[in-house]
Structures are given as structure tokens and as C-alpha cells.
């Protein structure tokens, strides 16, 4: 009895060390990188505080996604952002609906320059998705954006 108790304790310690060694270690290898173009046709800002651009305003959208050449519809997205720093950034959450499943992202959308958001999960072939998404404006009007998904897992 005592030996099996010691063996079980040792096995638990070994398992805990193995888990700790892999958790938070090197990121998983990339399994997919793909680019879509968002055509921002439904973006709407709801003014929640002071009139005009102010912290707490909400940006909602449900837009179409196109292939990287911007010629063929390949999906849609749906999400929202909350204004956090006036004239500088929003904090966003959205889901892209593409062939094979859904991919969710969360992170900052900067008013100027590129943004990098975290891939937080997905469904279907993206059910174990992690990684990041690069977001870049395609024009100065804010009507089209490149979303480059770097999917791990």
C-alpha cells in the first residue's frame, strides 16, 4: 500500500513537472497563414458618452471578407470594439466565418499604423487555434483592411 502511494505521488510530480515545462514554453509551430480582405461597409459607431469621439464609444460591424486579391467573397465577420484611447485605439473582439470554421480574435485596433490581435480560439478545423492576426488598412478611407491570420494549433 505504501509503495503504491509513493509511486502515485511520484507519477503526479513527474506529470506536474512535464506540464509546467510545456506550459508557457515555445509557441506551437504555425499550421496555417491566410489573408482575407475586410470590406468595412457596415461599421457603425454608437456614441455612449460625450458627443463625438470619446472613451466608451462602441464600434459594431458585420462585414464581408474577400480573398487576398479582393476578388472573391470567402466569408464574413461579426464583432465590436470599445473606444479606449480617444484618437488612438479601440479594444476589439470578433469572429471570422470562413471555410472550415470560425476564428475569434481579440486585441487593439489602432487608429494609425498596423495592429496585432490575438487569435483566441475557433471552431471546426480552427477548434484549437491560437496565434495572432496582423491588421493593416488598405486605404486611407478605412473602407478595406488586410487581415493576415497566423494560426497555431
CATH of the domain at 93: 2.40.480.10
Residue 38 lies in a domain: yes
**Parent domain of 110:** 29-152
- Give the up-direction half-sphere exposure of residue 24: CA atoms within 13 A in the CB hemisphere: 3
Q: What is the pLDDT of residue 26?
A: 58
Number of structural domains found in the chain:
1
User: How many Å apart are CA 66 and CA 71, to the nearest integer?
Assistant: 6
Greater confidence, 79 or 30? Answer: 79
Residue 42 lies in a domain: yes
For the chain, the average pLDDT equals: 87
- How much is the average pLDDT of 43-61? 96
This prediction's pTM: 0.80
- How much is the average pLDDT of 38-61? 97
Residue 5 lies in a domain: no
Residue 79 lies in a domain: yes
Residue 21 lies in a domain: no
Amino acid at each position: 500500500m505504501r509503495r503504491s502511494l509513493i509511486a502515485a505521488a511520484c507519477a503526479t510530480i513527474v506529470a506536474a513537472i512535464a506540464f509546467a515545462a510545456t506550459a508557457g514554453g515555445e509557441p506551437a509551430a504555425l499550421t496555417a497563414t491566410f489573408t482575407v480582405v475586410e470590406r468595412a461597409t457596415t461599421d457603425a459607431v454608437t456614441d455612449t458618452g460625450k458627443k463625438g469621439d470619446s472613451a466608451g464609444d462602441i464600434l459594431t460591424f458585420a462585414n464581408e471578407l474577400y480573398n487576398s486579391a479582393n476578388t472573391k467573397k470567402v466569408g464574413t465577420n461579426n464583432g465590436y470594439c470599445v473606444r479606449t484611447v480617444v484618437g488612438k485605439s479601440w479594444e476589439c473582439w470578433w469572429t471570422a466565418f470562413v471555410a472550415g470554421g470560425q476564428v475569434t480574435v481579440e486585441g487593439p485596433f489602432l487608429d494609425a499604423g498596423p495592429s496585432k490581435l490575438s487569435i483566441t480560439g475557433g471552431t471546426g478545423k480552427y477548434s484549437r487555434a491560437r496565434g495572432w492576426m496582423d491588421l493593416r488598412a488598405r486605404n486611407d478611407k478605412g473602407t478595406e483592411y488586410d487581415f493576415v491570420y497566423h494560426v497555431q494549433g
